[in-house]
Copies of this chain bind each other. A is one copy, B any other.
Amino acid sequence: MSPAAAAVSSSSSSRWCPTPEQLMILEEMYRGGTRTPNASQIQQITAHLSFYGKIEGKNVFYWFQNHKARDRQKLRRKLMSKQIVHQQHVLYNQQQQNNNGLQNHHHHHLHSHHLLPQFSHYTPGGVEDASTPMVGYSWNHHHLPERCEVVDDKPMARTYGRDWMIMLDLGPTSPNSCSRPLKTLELFPVTATGLRDTTSTN
């Protein structure tokens, strides 16, 4: 198994394949608390990881996105199983009561969304992220705040998880100059015959 052969040239795989070092670093950062790096952070991470192999900014972006999501998913599944156990327990008790012939009318107001966090469109009325603290686990408070140099913890306007694609946008928004729509715009029918829906090709 020598997949690394011809790493650069042929078989440019259609998707990024992280090297062990890259993966290690990413996981280390994730473990350290990084979850949704912003534009500049992604830039730095990408530059750093590019030392160990081919990588792009979007790879870093997607990696954190997926890792966070699947972590949550894992936790959710765990919770769900616990809740199912609880539910079964409750059902068992109810059945026992039925068998004992006790007909009290309390039934505890067990809302279904408490028993089935399967979807849980994140905390319906709360701030998102926190990924886990809503569950009651700690984890969000051991993020090694040592070396609290000013770094870039400042608000920085908005964090804009995806603005890195904006920052890198070659300025179409130049407020001055750009007097004309350039030459490529002549290709623009505006009646939109050419720009078909790209999703139709999926």
Contact = CB atoms under 8 A, between A and B. Distances in A.
Interface string A176-195: 10101110110111111111
Contacts of A43: 172
A18 to B, nearest CB: 13
A8 B176 CA distance: 9
A155 B188 contact: no
Nearest to A159: B198
Nearest to A161: B198
A112 interface: no
A161 B199 contact: yes
Given A56-B169, A175-B8, A185 B3 contact: no
A166 interface: yes
A110 interface: no
A143 interface: yes
Interface string A36-76: 11100101111110110011111000000000000000000
A127 interface: yes
A32 interface: yes
Contacts of A157: 1, 3
Interface stretch (A77-85, A90-98, A100-108, A146-154): A146-154
A174 interface: yes
Contact of A29 (B29, B48, B129, B190): B190
Contact of A54 (B175, B184, B193, B195): B175
A2 to B, nearest CB: 9
Nearest to A57: B169
